[in-house]
């Protein structure tokens, strides 16, 4: 017979494991279902009332939940509703892209409490300089929120390219010019003073996770197309992100749709992003030297100018958008045939220019998808703009808190 392992207070390791599991169960239930009284939490989770009261007391001590108003509309004496506490902890999601670096902070309730994006021609800078710019933004967010009494719980960095999350390595990011880059190690060296979990992920995968929180799906099947200089894809099936055998799924921008076409940063020709990436669109819409092609300007500022030109009927701009829509339909049809998503979300610059891209794409899909009525796929524009990957990164960092609340210290920095 195995001998129970005793901790310093006499509890067994098994008892502690059960308690950690139950803390996660209660906290995650509140995240999914919203504020609940202790009695209702017990009823819905199957835990007894005394256990729930003890768990809630610990979660309150750790600054993760708080008491709200009395629960209304139920038979019997109303109990105090327990809800997530958004005031004490936050996670940071950040992104390195070709035209900018950005970061945002999200509290436990899923609310964005601080955000910043800085235009940056990252492909022309040394990697160390790019990382220093990103760390400067992250540090600024953390310093401001810590000064207000909140504590960071984790950081996630999103990068467009093949990312090996387990080792924190960017295998290849063609549009950044990075290959076999130990980004997690380098970021950790710059942010080591935070003493926090730091993660590295593909930007489209994180954006897809954020989009899943936004849309009401019956099946949890969603395909995100993220448009920037490069084009990424994130696939969620049954509510779970599809990563592939080595975590490299989603590189849809490198599908060959134009054999013998323009060279791509990956070394091949005719990749999808060479015809629908942002640079491809802008090259059709404007001459070199036009402000919309200046990477030193904020990407939204440049896109606003494209929108303005399209809105007044500028012929060159409208032709550029039409050509982009035609090429989008070719690739999107292949993806819908392969994955049969319930929702196809257009993110990044595709969402900003959606009024000119969705109609031709929606009209073309039925002819390019074998299943009737495009397999039931509906087309939507992202509501998250260029913050989707940042939001997904923050959610990724917060997931560790919900998985193991016992690892979080209280507001004073000590365990409750």
- Give the mean pLDDT of 49-65: 95
Which of 35, 68, 84 delimits the end of a domain? 84
d(CA 377, CA 175): 30
pLDDT at 303 over 60: yes
Q: How many CB atoms lie within 10 A of CB 73?
A: 5
Looking up residue 34, the CATH number of its domain turns out to be 1.10.10.10
> Which of 114-128, 175-189, 230-244, 267-281 has the least mean pLDDT?
230-244
Tell me, yes or no, whether 360 and 235 share the same domain: yes
CA 225, distance to chain mean position in Å, is 13
Tell me, yes or no, whether 128 and 238 share the same domain: no
Instruction: State the DSSP H helix or E strand holding residue 377, giving kind and residue range, or none if neither.
Output: none
Using pLDDT thresholds of 50, 70 and 90, give the confidence band for residue 4: very low
Q: What is the pLDDT of residue 288?
A: 94
Q: What is the pLDDT of residue 161?
A: 93
Give the model confidence (pLDDT) of 202-223 as tens digits.
999 999 999 998 988 877 899 9
d(CA 281, CA 131): 28
- Give the mean pLDDT of 102-116: 96
Looking up residue 103, the CATH number of its domain turns out to be 3.30.420.40
Phi and psi torsions of 56, nearest 5°: -65, -40
Tell me, yes or no, whether 220 and 195 share the same domain: no
Q: What is the pLDDT of residue 5?
A: 44
Q: What is the pLDDT of residue 412?
A: 56
d(CA 106, CA 152): 10
Q: What is the pLDDT of residue 74?
A: 58
Q: What is the pLDDT of residue 1?
A: 39
pLDDT at 338 over 50: yes
Q: What is the pLDDT of residue 78?
A: 65
- Give the mean pLDDT of 394-398: 96
- Give the mean pLDDT of 227-245: 90
Tell me, yes or no, whether 107 and 41 share the same domain: no
Tell me, yes or no, whether 224 and 321 share the same domain: yes
In a domain, 67, yes or no: yes
Tell me, yes or no, whether 79 and 125 share the same domain: no
> Which of 15-24, 66-75, 403-412 has the least mean pLDDT?
66-75
Tell me, yes or no, whether 95 and 79 share the same domain: no
pLDDT at 141 over 80: yes
Rounded to whole angstroms, what are the CA distances from 410 to 58, 63, 405, 416? 9, 5, 10, 6
In a domain, 2, yes or no: no
- Give the count of domains, the chain: 3
- Give the mean pLDDT of 251-271: 93
Longest dimension (CA), the chain: 81
* Structural domain boundaries, residue 332: 216-384
In a domain, 6, yes or no: no
In a domain, 221, yes or no: yes
d(CA 170, CA 33): 37
pLDDT at 47 over 70: yes
Tell me, yes or no, whether 164 and 243 share the same domain: no
| Buried-state track 251-280, b at ≥16 Cβ within 10 A, e below 16 | bbbbbebeeeeeebbbeeebbbbbbbbbbb
Q: What is the pLDDT of residue 100?
A: 94
Percent of residues, the chain, with pLDDT higher than 70 = 94
Q: What is the overall mean pLDDT for the chain?
A: 91
pLDDT at 187 over 60: yes
pLDDT at 6 over 70: no
């Amino acid at each position: 017979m195995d001998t129970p392992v005793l901790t310093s207070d006499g509890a067994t390791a098994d008892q502690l494991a059960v308690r950690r599991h139950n803390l996660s169960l209660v906290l995650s239930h509140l995240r999914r279902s919203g504020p609940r009284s202790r009695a209702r939490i017990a009823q819905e989770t199957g835990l007894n009332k005394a256990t729930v009261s003890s768990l809630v007391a610990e979660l309150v001590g750790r600054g993760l939940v708080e008491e709200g108003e009395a629960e209304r509309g139920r038979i019997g004496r109303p109990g105090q509703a327990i809800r997530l506490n958004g005031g004490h902890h936050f996670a940071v999601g950040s992104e390195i892209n070709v035209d900018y670096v950005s970061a945002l902070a999200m509290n436990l309730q899923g609310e964005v409490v601080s955000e910043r994006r800085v235009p940056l021609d990252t492909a022309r800078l040394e990697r160390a300089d790019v990382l220093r710019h990103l760390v400067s933004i992250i540090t600024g967010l953390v310093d401001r929120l810590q000064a207000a009494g909140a504590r960071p719980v984790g950081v996630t960095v999103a990068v467009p390219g093949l990312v090996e999350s387990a080792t924190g390595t960017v295998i290849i990011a063609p549009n950044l010019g990075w290959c076999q880059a130990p980004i997690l190690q380098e970021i950790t060296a710059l942010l080591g003073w935070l003493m926090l979990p730091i993660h590295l992920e593909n930007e489209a995968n994180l954006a897809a996770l954020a989009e899943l929180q936004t849309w009401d799906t019956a099946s949890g099947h969603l395909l995100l197309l993220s448009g920037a200089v490069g084009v990424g894809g994130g696939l969620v099936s049954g509510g779970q992100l599809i990563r592939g055998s080595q975590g490299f799924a989603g590189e849809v921008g490198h599908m060959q749709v134009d054999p013998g076409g323009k060279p791509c940063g990956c070394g091949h020709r005719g990749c999808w992003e060479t015809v629908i990436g942002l640079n491809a669109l802008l090259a059709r819409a404007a001459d070199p030297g036009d402000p919309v092609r200046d990477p030193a300007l904020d990407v939204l500022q440049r896109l606003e100018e494209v929108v303005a030109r399209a809105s007044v009927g500028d012929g060159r701009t409208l032709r550029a958008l039409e050509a982009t829509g035609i090429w989008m339909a070719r690739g999107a049809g292949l993806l819908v045939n392969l994955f049969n998503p319930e929702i196809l979300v257009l993110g990044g610059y595709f969402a900003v220019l959606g009024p000119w891209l969705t109609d031709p794409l929606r009209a073309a899909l039925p002819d390019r998808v074998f299943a009737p009525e495009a397999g039931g796929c509906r087309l939507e524009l992202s509501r998250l703009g260029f913050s989707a990957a940042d939001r997904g990164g923050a959610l990724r960092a917060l997931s560790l808190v919900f998985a193991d609340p016992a690892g979080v210290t209280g507001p004073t920095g000590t365990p409750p």
